[in-house]
Structure 1
């Protein structure tokens, strides 16, 4: 049997129930064929046995009741594909049946057509048919009472309600149930999709954070190793080679220790490992001491100008970001700065923490480590996460003195709020 599938693979028959669209099926559904055969066979059996629903009417020959029966059976074949058409034709057939001796099979199949018109019809039809059939039932009851003026007239209203209003109401209930089930399934799929998106974003954010931490912790040590290993290879004096190898060993040990600590944190999924203190601006002096040791042979001097008020506390994310910015800026200065002074400035005014690192740049003697640009990317990511601003570039382009500056402004809360 041919069935048209929607783009998402859903059966067109089921889609008809959801959006009310009419889909033509070249071949009827097997259940509809079964209903048509059962209805037609039952009606023929009743007619052959002489069991008529309106036996006291002999306006037409008895065989004429088979015409509405056949028409109704034919409509059963189209109950899913042409719901409005089958309801209109079925209504005319059941009315025509009342002018014959009548057949119960015709009436029963009409109730099924009423049900199908609500289930498979348009949303507007599904809303209107129960209301219309309800009004018809009430009108028939009142009209019968006014005409016959006997209590038995109520049976006409009851029969009308059973034939029209009851199946329409049943179809509406089933359709609402199906639509609610589909809506719940769509919500579940959307929730699962959003959860997957959140999981992917969380994984991406965590990988970016890990990349920043790994670069910031190890890059300065590897840069020192690269610079001094090149110096050890290019300088022929034993003392210079010994000093360079000592610096290489020191930075190798420190870098290896930090790598082991990071790997231990990543592998520990139980949470039993004690958390390590996050680096803060109080440790900037240690960074400068390390930079002085590494940069002494390159003619670099390092100074710190910290104008922050004493005893002030900053949020941990701000402290961490500022520390990493200073660390990466010093690493870049060791790689690229020409002989001169590298100045680190820290200032905290109102709700803003300013971090600035200036260094001379240009031609420099001796070895220099290659750069990948990942450091600037990491600094920008850290500042963006805190809604701050970062500037990196030359500030003085005079021929005699060229200055490279990294300046970050990080918003922080007021000290009084932090102590509250």
Structure 2
């Protein structure tokens, strides 16, 4: 059952010292019994204090024995007070099923004891006094222990419920991340397939033509190399993304240059969008093109669902990166449709996949801003070149 707790042992010693002082001061019923005999029940009750946590039922037994012995030779104030701790400890630290029987037993003892005292003395006032005294000794510590234990159980249940909610939230987050990654894998599949299809076609054409000039062969090989490098870069971006067997692959490559279509659809849905393009639009790597398109799409969708009636989108083409900024007021005029937060998670995943970042949050006091920075180059890689066109036999 474990060793005796040090703090309980010290409490037992302190209780015995206080009880001995009360005995020396005469705090017991004088019945012609030597005072040292009252030290025995006091010692039993203090022993119950020493084992109250590791052996609560033993503490209860020692308390009952001490109370009975003390009634036979006393009773004494110190022993009665310490017995209340024995009763409290038995209900607080003992089996849960012990509480209700102890409450019934102490209630019955208080009523019967008070009635017996009043009947013997034929005094109603004595009945009331005895009832209160016996109730304080037995009923009060038992009921107090039950209340405290109930509060502890409720606190433990709340902690467990909070942990379960946290685990469910984490599972929801992981599910959202996995679903978003699976969708990105489907969208990028065809982009990567295009690179390697071009390589296969060009290689086959070169091998099948014996009359090509060295200049043409070199041009084709340069195109093959650049498509290979870019394809491998995009493949590295997809590491860790798994696509379930049997899922259909989307064959459409979405480009950030088609942002005007997103804006037009948002306007048709009731959102007044102002689109501005800074810098000269240029060909972007396929993963960046796709990520930028989806981030802009999600930002405009969130603006429509949770923002005001207007939004401003800015696409900035900068050296080595493209920056997307979507601002919309949060003035409370929108219906505030519910959301699970998967959109923000998806934007962050898409940006991280291409080495970028997304910041979303309050801006300018009463507005909301989505700010995405997507790098357009990787060290050691260059932009995708269009496949070189082989000359016909007549041209060569």
Task: Specify if TM > 0.5.
Answer: yes
Using the size of structure 1 for normalisation, the TM-score is 0.52
**Are the equivalent residues in 2 in contact too, given 1:52–1:102 (CA < 8 A)?**
no
What's 2:29 paired with? Answer: 54
CA deviations over 1:11-48 (Å, ceiling 9, x no partner): xxxxxxxxxxxxx222x222212221121111111222
Aligned pair count reads 245
- Pick one of 266, 279, 292 that aligns with 1:264: 292
What's 2:148 paired with? Answer: 174
SS at match of 2:73: coil
Separation of aligned partners in 2, 1:257 and 1:52: 93
Separation of aligned partners in 2, 1:43 and 1:273: 76
Using the size of structure 2 for normalisation, the TM-score is 0.55
Separation of aligned partners in 2, 1:91 and 1:149: 28
CA deviations over 1:239-291 (Å, ceiling 9, x no partner): 9x97996xx79x9798966444213246669826999xxxxxxxxxxxxxxxx
Change in 2 beyond 3 A, CA 1:230/1:111:
same
Change in 2 beyond 3 A, CA 1:140/1:103:
closer
Separation of aligned partners in 1, 2:302 and 2:133: 80
Separation of aligned partners in 1, 2:193 and 2:132: 88
What's 2:309 paired with? Answer: none
Cα distance, 1:53 vs structure 2: 2.4
Flag structure 2 segments of 5+ consecutive residues without an equivalent. Answer: 231-252, 254-282, 304-396
Q: What RMSD, in angstroms, separates the aligned Cα atoms of the two structures? A: 3.3
Separation of aligned partners in 1, 2:5 and 2:59: 15
What's 1:25 paired with? Answer: 2
What's 2:39 paired with? Answer: 66
CA deviations over 1:137-171 (Å, ceiling 9, x no partner): 22222333333321212211111100010000111
Separation of aligned partners in 1, 2:302 and 2:68: 86
CA deviations over 1:36-71 (Å, ceiling 9, x no partner): 11211111112222x23212x22x322210110111
Change in 2 beyond 3 A, CA 1:126/1:227:
farther
Which residues in structure 2 correspond to 1:354-393 (within 5 Å)?
A: none
- Pick one of 139, 160, 182 that aligns with 2:134: 160
Larger radius of gyration: 1
Does residue 43 (structure 1) correspond to residue 19 (structure 2)? The answer is: yes
Flag structure 1 segments of 5+ consecutive residues without an equivalent. Answer: 1-23, 276-420
Which residues in structure 2 correspond to 1:237-248 (within 5 Å)?
A: 237-238=211-212
Separation of aligned partners in 1, 2:302 and 2:136: 75
- Pick one of 124, 128, 138 that aligns with 2:111: 138
Separation of aligned partners in 2, 1:274 and 1:153: 75
- Pick one of 196, 200, 208 that aligns with 2:170: 196
Separation of aligned partners in 1, 2:178 and 2:117: 74
- Pick one of 59, 80, 83 that aligns with 1:107: 80
Separation of aligned partners in 1, 2:163 and 2:115: 50
Cα distance, 1:238 vs structure 2: 4.1
CA deviations over 1:375-415 (Å, ceiling 9, x no partner): xxxxxxxxxxxxxxxxxxxxxxxxxxxxxxxxxxxxxxxxx
Cα distance, 1:90 vs structure 2: 0.9
My pick for the range that moved more, 137-146 or 187-196, is 137-146
Does residue 91 (structure 1) correspond to residue 64 (structure 2)? The answer is: yes
